[in-house]
Amino acid sequence: MPGGFVGVDVFFVISGYLITGILVRQLTTEGSISLVEFYSRRAKRLLPAATVVLLATAGLTLAFVPVTRWASIGWDVVASTLYVQNWRLAADSVDYLRSDAAPSPLQHFWSLGVEEQYYVVWPLLLMISAVVLTWRRGKKSKLVDSRRLFRVLVFVLCLVISASLIWSVYYTETAAGPAYFASTTRFWQLATGALLAISINYLERVPALPAAVMGWLGTAGIIFAVITIDETVPYPGIVAMVPTFAAALVIASGVRRRFGGPEFILGSTPMRFIGDISYSLYLWHWPFIVIAGDVFGELTVPVGAGVLCLSLLLAYLTYRFVEVPFSKSYVLSVSPSRGLQVGLACMVAACLVGGALVQSTRSQEATAAAAAYNATLPKFSLDGQVQEPAVAFGAMTLPAEPRAAIQDILSTAENIQPAPVAAANDFPDCISAKVDESDVRTCEYGIADSTSHVALVGDSHAKQWIPALEYIARSKGWRLTAYIHDACPFATGQLVREGVAYTACIEWNSKMLDALVNDDRIKMVITSNYTKSAGIAGASDEVSAMAEAYRSSWGTLIQSGISVAVIRDTPAPARNIPDCVAANLGDLKKCAVPRSQAADDKGLAQVAAASGFEGVKFIDLNDFICPADLCAPVIGEVLVYRDSDHLTATYVRSLTPRLEEPLVTAHPRL
């Protein structure tokens, strides 16, 4: 379903309701909360089953997932074990170069991380509230006045709900990626469930008819959210109130069983069975979905049905032979510390396996990196002198008119450089401004004291040209300064990204123009950017609108006496090429993408903007990147892409001769 992910919101409300009920009952009957017992119960309940799934996922990764993703999944195992997977995913969501990474088979552990982080804080708040109330009643009293506790907790929970919800709305509007996974944007949902738990005495008094109406309204609200909310909606934000409060209505209506509400469906034997195995089913289903995608490609109905059946079977077996025995173990119950020891043992085992998975790729990456360094590529000696390649490689193996000569692509290659396992790291290390930043950052290359100063300006698709430009700058005696901003084109206009005003990019462009026109040392600006980085607000013709935005920035430079060279945006296969190549070394054609799909729509606004614009040199090297009707993943023994749209540094180096000539003619006096 489009909004199937809102099930997580429902889960948070249920968790807050159940766990808070247990804690408050213990607090009011015993006068305190035993943290050892509480965390022992959590460890017995969660960790054995989770460890089984984590270990199984590591094994499935080795068997079916390309080696290019082993290290990432290994770190996911560690992060999931330590219940910090949500923060790992939040960090990855703002890493522009990882935005197209394949989903992790352990991505779903993020919600368990949010839950456990909440239960680090919530029992402590309960205990502090109890201590304050007990102290105010008098030192002789050991019990907590339940009515006064209710009032205090209502106040505390309302504060948590208000603060977390306000932050969720704000953060979702400004940074939807990390906001989705952050604990702070989700605590209000757990607190909503907790508020229900402490209000149970009042909820039991709700008459049957209003309770039934509440239940059906809540059920309808959840169904409505699942059907209407999809990935295009910024989430969680204010929209998350729909499934959250709908779940709260269902729980509130069913506190006491009454005739007429949805409880006769939700309380039926089949539904209770699903409820019993729901934790294990949640653990198992996502790894199978992701890994089945690696094995079979698109999930057809038969494959999807197989994933569902296998998930149900393993969920039942895990519940029957792992969950129940550990959670109901008499030995572990009489000694809570033993439960903690079992939990610790599970965590250590999973972390060791995750670490082993990471380490298993490190030697391969090191070997690949050494091979790439020693390959016959243009590089610089220790004294800074340019060294020519001994033999042709990559694009150097193509004829002068590749589109006319190349009719087919290779199926195999003996020695691919860089190796797929090391491709992600084969990219310039220039630190760029992030998507939400407007600071101007610089990276320096070439000859530092040269009077021939050249600037490279743009996003990561400009950044990818640094290996070739560095070589050219060294050989021509230029000083090269790179100004890079992730996902931000060098253009003047009302830029938008994902439908939201791209304020950071607009501000960065303003600062860049000021910096460039006020630096009389800069002779030429080289620019490029990804076609899909940003758009223009309200544009009916996106190509024409972006072309005008480019011309505005370029014209300002030309009026200041600065030449402009524009490198056309490069083809984008829209699939992770290193992953595909690693899985299809014997048949590389499986990783080829039609040129019409990857290249024909790239850089059209740049073409339109540069047409007839005096002072602008337009450079189109796409025929040397995709010379045939199918864009090859490997050319001249060189892997073309590091991901789904960025060229490897190695392949860019092989394009150096093709880039050097037009750049030199763009400003002959350099």
pLDDT digits 0-9 by tens, 405-440: 776 777 777 788 888 988 988 999 999 998 889 999
| Strand runs labelled E in 489-622 | 495-497, 500-501, 522-528, 535-536, 563-567, 593-594, 616-619
Residue 353: other Cβ atoms inside 10 A: 20
pLDDT at 354: 96
- Asked, for residue 144, whether it belongs to a domain, the answer is no
- Asked, for residue 447, whether it belongs to a domain, the answer is yes
- Asked, for residue 587, whether it belongs to a domain, the answer is no
pLDDT at 380: 43
- Asked, for residue 36, whether it belongs to a domain, the answer is no
- Asked, for residue 289, whether it belongs to a domain, the answer is no
- Which residue in the block uniquely carries the two structure tokens 């948070």? 12
Q: Is there a contact between 259 and 216 (Cβ–Cβ < 8 Å)?
A: no
Sequence-distant (6+) residues with CB within 8 A of 524 are 454, 455, 562, 563, 564, 565, 666, 667, 670
> What tokens were used for 602?
């790239």
pTM: 0.85
Q: Is there a contact between 636 and 658 (Cβ–Cβ < 8 Å)?
A: no
Number of domains in the chain: 1
Residue 597: other Cβ atoms inside 10 A: 14
**Per-residue pLDDT at 378 exceeds 70:** no
- Asked, for residue 652, whether it belongs to a domain, the answer is yes
d(Cα 548, Cα 531) in Å, to the nearest integer?
A: 14
Q: What is the CATH number of the domain that holds 443?
A: 3.40.50.1110
Tell whether omega for the bond before 418 is within 30 degrees of 0, i.e. cis.
yes
Domain residues for the domain of 494 are 422-570+596-621+647-665
- Asked, for residue 180, whether it belongs to a domain, the answer is no
- Asked, for residue 269, whether it belongs to a domain, the answer is no
Q: Is there a contact between 56 and 84 (Cβ–Cβ < 8 Å)?
A: no
pLDDT at 373: 47
Burial classification of residue 421, based on how many CB atoms lie within 10 Å of its CB (0-12 exposed, 13-18 middle, 19 or more buried): buried
CA-to-CA separations, 438 to 234, 481, 499, 599, in angstroms, rounded: 22, 18, 19, 30
- Give the helix, strand, coil percentages of the chain, each rounded to 5: 60, 10, 30
**Per-residue pLDDT at 548 exceeds 70:** yes
pLDDT at 382: 39
Tell whether omega for the bond before 236 is within 30 degrees of 0, i.e. cis.
yes
Mean pLDDT of 618-631: 94
pLDDT in tens, 220-246: 999 999 999 998 888 999 999 999 999
CA-to-CA separations, 323 to 10, 51, 199, in angstroms, rounded: 22, 11, 30
pLDDT in tens, 55-104: 999 999 999 999 889 999 999 999 999 999 999 999 887 666 666 678 89
Residue type for position 551: R
